[in-house]
Structure 1
Amino acid sequence: MKYNIRKAAVLGSGVMGSGIACHLANIGLEVVMLDIVPFDLNPEEKSNTAQRNRIVNGALKAAIKNKPAALYKKDFAKRITTGNFEDDFDKIADADWIIEVVIEKLDIKQQLFERVEAIRKEGALITSNTSSIPIKMLVEGRSDDFRAHFCGTHFFNPPRYMRLLEIIPHEGCKQDVIDFFMDYGERFLGKQTVLCKDTPAFIANRIGVMSGSRMFELTEKYGFKIEEVDALT
């Protein structure tokens, strides 16, 4: 099957979500970015669209001001439409690529994917930016078609500048989906795509955790001061 991405939906507007949304806008995609409604709204604010979108709009404003810049041109922010999970979830129905970038909690991600499955169009690609949760766990309970079009696409911060993009399939993922993202990441996103096994923390973070643990071990063993560790590393 040939995949053509013109519209992307980014679910989550934190540092990574907003950064990914900006980079997708950089390459000319129409982007929808959604996040939660704030928990602390008073009765009057609950009927105010601006207040309900306070989190996602604040995240986009912060991303536009980022240094180094998340956007090639600030005008590219016009390609990003914002909204929230309660009022605007239907905006992802015609997205060609839906990427999840919410908090690293398995149950929250699974609940979100259940909602995505109910509304996604046929053939839409779904990925997660999880940095450590096994991909096979994220698709538990999902249909064969959802699973076939799902994999991990792990960006690094800041998404525009960090070249590595980990592509993490699971057993039920179609080969043409894997091949597509391996190619798309390099040709359109400017990344060095790396195919990863579905192991905890994948490749880069797995190495990082091991290296960090070894550093703490040696620091304690030799009695290094913080300044000495900084100088050595």
Structure 2
Amino acid sequence: MDNDRLVDSVKFLLKSVRQLSDHFVETNENITRSFDSVRRDVTELTERLEQLETSLQNYRDEDLIASGAPRREPELPVRSDTQENAIPALNLPLDGLVDVYRNTPALLQPFARPCSVSGRTLSGAIEEIELEVFAQGTTWMIETQDGEWVLLPRPGMLQRQTQIESLGRLFDRSAEASPPAEMELIKPGFAHGVEHGRRWYLKEKGVIGLHADPLQTSLEKRLQALESKLSG
């Protein structure tokens, strides 16, 4: 009799353990399914958020393009993940970017966001040199293949001393000349993004050289030569 009760007790315990095990497995599977569902939801929401951010960025960039000079189609390599963007990232190494700027700067226009030093910096509200998007800005900000932001002077002759002084916050000068002056890029500047494609803090100043306008110099030499002939 005692043996029968012992067997029954063991069977009862085994059944209870099996039921507990089955319940644990079922609970664990439900939890796993719940986590998988949450993970899928988070992934979907993240993708939708990224799409919204890209759409907002393109909207802002298209507005910037509309308020500035007409843009040409990109003729240089575009980083594949940004090829649908209004202003794509440039898929060139830094030395290639600098070489293009020195020889044919207009090719960089489709990749450039015009910008200038922000009012917060100019007013002394912040210590950092902050740049922000501005259609008539004196500098270009270009995103490179590795996600770095490169700062370049906007191409063109410097006609006023105020232009030179404005660039002085962002670029050291290796040679001086009075306006009108031709600008030579020695080294680009670098910045890190505060708000993607909208605001940056200067990380490293660039270097430029200023040279007298060769056309103006040539004209002055010709006038000097004419004066010498007339005085002789």
Normalising to structure 2: TM-score of the pair? 0.25
Max Rg structure: 2
Give the strand-richer structure, 1 or 2: 2
